Amino acid sequence: MITKRIIPCLDVRDGRVVKGVNFEGINDVNDPATLAKYYSENGADELVFYDITASHEGRRLFTDILTKVAQNVFIPLTVGGGINTIEDFDRVLKCGADKVSVNSGAIKNPSLITEAAKKYGNQCVVISADVKRVDGVFTVFSKGGRENTGMEAISWIKRCVDMGAGEVVVNSIDTDGVKNGFDIELLKLVCEAVNVPVIASGGAGSTEHFVKLFKEIPEMSAGLAASVFHFGEIKINELKKELKNNGIKARI
C-alpha cells in the first residue's frame, strides 16, 4: 500500500533558504542545493520550494538554484511562490519542477487552475491555502498570510479541486510556527471535503505530532514542515521509524 509522505519545505529568498515564524522574523538557515541533497539522501519523500523573493533578480536566482537542485535530486519537487500565470508554470517546470503550487495567484484568477490542469495534467497543479480562524470561521488568507480574502476555506479548497487541482496543501496560520501540533480540526474537514491527496502544514514540533496526524486522520497523505527539519529537531529517518512502530506505512 501507499506510504504517508514526509515533506520538508524550503522557503527561498534571494537564493537562500529562510523560514519565518508565523510568517514574520525570517532568518537564514542554509543553502538550498545542500539542504535538498541532504534531505533526499536522508529519507525525505518530496521537497517543496517556495520562492518568497519579490524582485526579478531574486526570481532569476531562484530558477538557477532550482535547476541545480533538480539535476541532483531525484524525488518529486514542488515549486510555489509568485505563480500567477501559465508562463510562471512553464518557467519552473522547465527548470525541473514536477508540480507547481498556486496560492494567491489562484485567488486572483481561479481559472489559472483549470488552464494549468488542462495543459500539464491535474497531478501537476497543487492548490496551497493559508487558513486562519476569523470569528470561528476557517478563512482563506492571501499574500503570505497577510490579507484576509473573506472566503470560507473548505468551500474554496473544494472549488479548486473541482477546477482541476490534483493535490492540496493546507497551512494553518493559527498553528504555524507554534510547534504545538497540526491543526487536526481544520485538516479533518478538508480531508472529508475532497478526494485528492491532502498535505498537512503548520504546527509540527515533534515526531508525536506526525504520529497523531496520521492516526487521527487516516486519509491524510502527507505532513510538511520546515524549521523543525532544518534545525534538526526532527530527523526524518527517526520520524519514519516512529511512524512504522505505530503501524503507519512509511518509505524506509
Partner 1 sequence: MIAIIDYGIGNLFSVVSSFKYIGADAIVTSDPEKIKECDRILLPGVGAFEDAAKKLRETGLDKVIIKEAKAGKPILGICLGMQMLFEKSYEYGEHNGLGLLKGRVIGMQGVIDEKLQIPHIGYNDLIFKKNHPLLKYINEGDFVYFVHSYYAVDCDDSLVAYAEYDKDITAIVAKDNVMGCQFHPEKSGEVGLNILRAFCEMETVK
Residues with a catalytic annotation lie at 11, 130
Instruction: State yes or no: residue 3 binds partner 1 (CB under 8 A).
Output: yes
C-alpha 73: how far from chain center: 18
Q: How far is the CB of 152 from partner 1 (least distance, A)?
A: 23
* Residues 216, 217, 218, 220, CA torsion sign: negative
- Encoded one letter per residue, x for contact with partner 1 by CB under 8 A and - for no contact, window 79-118 reads --------------xxxx-x--------------------
* Residue 25 beta carbon to partner 1: minimum distance, rounded to whole angstroms: 34
C-alpha–C-alpha distance, residues 232 and 81, integer Å: 25
Shortest gap between Cβ of 231 and partner 1 (angstroms)? 24
The region, left, alpha or beta by phi > 0 then psi within -120 to 50, assigned to residue 81 is left
Q: Using CA atoms, how far apart are residues 173 and 86, in angstroms rounded to an integer?
A: 28
Antiparallel, parallel or unpaired: β 47-51 and 125-134: unpaired
Check residue 71 for interaction with partner 1 (CB under 8 A): yes
Q: Does 237 bind partner 1 (CB under 8 A)?
A: no
Grid look-up 499574500 returns 143
Q: How many other C-beta atoms lie within 10 A of the C-beta of residue 24?
A: 10
Asked if 225 and 19 touch (Cβ cutoff 8 Å), the reply is no
Choose which of 72, 109, 148, 180 interacts with partner 1 (CB under 8 A): 72
Q: Does the CA dihedral 83-194-208-205 come out positive or negative?
A: positive
Closest to partner 1 by CB, 3 or 246: 3
Interface residue with partner 1 among 76, 110, 144, 181 (CB under 8 A) is 76
Which run of H or of E encompasses 33?
helix 32-41
Q: Return the number of the residue (174 or 219) whose C-beta is nearest partner 1.
A: 219
70 binds partner 1 (CB under 8 A): yes
Per-residue binding string, partner 1, 26-55, x by CB under 8 A, is: --------------x----x----------
Q: Which one, 10 or 97, has the nearer CB to partner 1?
A: 97
Instruction: Please report whether residue 74 would count as binding partner 1 according to CB under 8 A.
Output: yes
- For the chain, what's the residue count? 252
**CA–CA–CA angle 94, 89, 29 (5° rounding):** 80
Q: Which is closer to partner 1, CB of 58 or CB of 76? A: 76
Chain residues in the site for partner 1 (CB under 8 A): 1-3, 5, 40, 45, 70-72, 74-76, 93-96, 98, 121-123, 166-167, 195-197, 219, 221-222, 251
